[in-house]
Structure 1
Amino acid sequence: MSVQAVPVTGAVHSFDVSTGVDGPGTRFVAFLAGCPLRCQYCHSPDTWYQRNGEPTTVDELVTRIRRYERFIKVAGGGVTISGGEPLQQPAFVREVLTRCTAMGLHTALDTSGFLGDRADDALLDAVDLVLLDIKSGDPGTYQRVTRTGRLTPTVRFAHRLAGRGIPIWVRFVLVPGLTDDPANVDAVADIVAAVPTVERVEVLPFHRLGAGKYAALGIDFPLAETEPPGAELLDRVRGRFRARGLTVC
């Protein structure tokens, strides 16, 4: 009597088709539910728990991706798995990305790297690009930002990716009064400059667009009174990365 394989299932919060935000070209982006971090500036608190996602098999998600396959190929795009934190569901991510690679689609993984040790070699074999969110370069600031995490796993993951030749786009969220201290910015820049496969750095200005989600969930938004960074601060911080020879967006 043969034993039927149990389909790999993940918790998918939502999906979108976007251009120029989650990797090159037009992307099919799957947002998975569940994240171990509680970043003060998170604009998607509705993705913190896996129970907030829709149970979805690999076949179901790939079937949905196939509807856009021709369009995203013509548009020079691909598929991005985001979150939440996708590496909280590594088996599901591995199978989806492997199937996308077999379809000839460019693949990207959007992650904080905090759970990078959960990504096995087979998963990374199916990744063409990693969008790596480096929250801070100072360990103490990193912990204040994430409220639960440590910097070391992200740095370790970045060097593992570089060792495999995987391109990286770094993302750094600039929050006045939280991540903008010059010593913290320089520490991030030093980390990034030591990773040879980093292709670009995106310095992202903090915004309060997710405040309504916190209110709807009955959760206090810790940065409700924080103003977005001004142009002068953004220019200064971007300049610290450029000073190390990095391409900055």
Structure 2
Amino acid sequence: MAEMTLEGVDARPEDSAFALGRVHSIETMGTVDGPGIRFVVFVQGCPMRCAYCHNPDTWSVNGGTMVTVEHLMDEFQSNHEFYRSGGITVSGGEPLLQPEFLADLFCAMHNNPDGRVHTCLDSCGYAFDPAHPEKFDAVLNETDMVLLDIKHADPVEHKKLTGCDPARILAFGDELARRKIKVVIRHVVVPGITDTVEECEKLGCLIAPWHNVVGLEMLPYHTMGVVKYEQLGIPYKLEGVPQMDTARMPELRNAVMTGMKKRRAELKNAIG
């Protein structure tokens, strides 16, 4: 399943300088998808099957609508004044399945005649291919910030939770660190799965070598997406799991920071 969807859905019409993208939906006033007010493009297609995914309708790479970069530019420009302190974010689904489209869109935003637009990529990182990182050069050269989702700090538990091994994701994190692209780590906290101090400290250890990390968002698990599973006739894997107690979030965030500090101290001492 995953290998098939990793082929992506890039397409470039003969009469256009830009690639087409397969888009699920657009949000014109996003406030939680990067700094400031954002124009958010949700693309279609995702290789992961996270148990708590609240957008299962974005999984198929054959869904959504084929959209031009020019169309998205026009939509953005219609509300351009609202985005002066924000920019554009491409989320999903998984944007890295469409690297050519994403690169063209971000390049166009950087060259906007009304002024350079801040670009942000919201990614699970799994579509990154560490054997061929050059495929993503054009995208990452035009990316100002990445919201990187780390689903679980333990590889075995990660695969149980998402259906995928985390190696590609960690390789993507390493690539972003090498390029010094600003990264905000996102971690969904699920009762009984990712809500222990131990798991959160391991997450801190995992991201400690990435000195380009500028933020950490601990996202409490919610059940608002369950209705989509019912509508699509898909079994919901976390049936019966309650919403996360938000009162515990500061404690768990502190655990991540503690793990990060400990690991960075160890790395520093190892260097001498």
- Global fold match (TM > 0.5): yes
Alignment of 1:106-145 (within 5 A): 106-117=118-129, 120-145=136-161
Secondary structure of the residue that 2:62 maps to in structure 1?
helix
- Identify the residue that residue 12 of structure 1 maps to in structure 2: 23
CA distance in structure 2 between the partners assigned to 1:41 and 1:71 by the alignment: 32
Check conservation: 2:18, 2:101, Cα contact below 8 A: no
Residues 161-220 of structure 1: CA deviation (Å, up to 9, x unaligned): 111111000000001112224443222111122210101110100000001111110111
Counterpart among 161, 168, 184 of residue 199 in structure 2: 184
Q: Is the 8 A contact 1:141 1:179 kept in 2?
A: no
Q: Secondary structure at the match of 1:224?
A: coil
Identity of aligned residues (%): 36
| 1:47 maps onto 2:58 in alignment | yes
Question: After alignment, is 94-103 or 62-71 more displaced?
Answer: 62-71
Q: Distance in 2 between matches of 1:152 and 1:175?
A: 22
1:215 corresponds to which residue?
A: 230
1:15 and 1:5, CA in 2 relative to 1: closer, same or farther beyond 3 A? closer
One-letter identity of the residue aligned with 1:12: V
Gaps of 5+ in 2: 1-13, 263-272
What is the TM-score of this pair, normalised by structure 2?
0.83
Secondary structure of the residue aligned to 1:108 is: strand
Q: Return the letter of the residue paired with 1:160.
A: E
Distance 2:199 2:257 in 1: 16
Aligned to 2:174: 159
Structure 1 unmatched ranges of 5 or more = none
Matched, 1:200 2:215: yes
8 Å CA contact 2:100–2:138 kept in 1: the answer is no
Letter in 2 for 1:220: P
Aligned to 2:269: none
Do the aligned partners of 1:14 and 1:30 also contact (CA within 8 Å) in 2? yes
Give me the whole-angstrom Cα distance separating, in 1, the residues matched to 2:46 and 2:15.
Answer: 31
Secondary structure in 2 matching 1:233: helix
**Of residues 240, 243, 250 in structure 2, which corresponds to 1:228?**
243
Cα-Cα RMSD: 1.8
Paired AA for residue 255 in structure 2: R
Distance of 1:101 and 1:186 partners within structure 2: 37
Q: How far off is 1:69 after superposition?
A: 2.1
Alignment correspondent of 1:84: 93
The aligned residue for residue 9 of structure 2 is: none
Q: Give the CA deviation at 1:23.
A: 0.3
Q: What residue identity is the alignment partner of 1:52?
A: G
SS at 1:52's partner residue? coil
- Asked if 1 retains the 8 angstrom alpha-carbon contact of 2:147 and 2:184, the reply is yes
**Greater shift in the superposed pair: 162-171 or 177-186:** 177-186
Distance 1:6 1:94, change over 3 A: closer
SS of the residue corresponding to residue 113 of structure 1 reads coil
Residues 202 and 256, structure 2, Cα contact 8 Å, conserved in 1: no
Deviation at 1:6, TM superposition (A): 7.2
Scaled by the length of structure 1, the TM-score of the pair is: 0.91
- Pick aligned residue for 2:71 from 57, 60, 66: 60
**Does structure 2 conserve the Cα–Cα contact (< 8 Å) formed by 1:113 and 1:153?**
yes
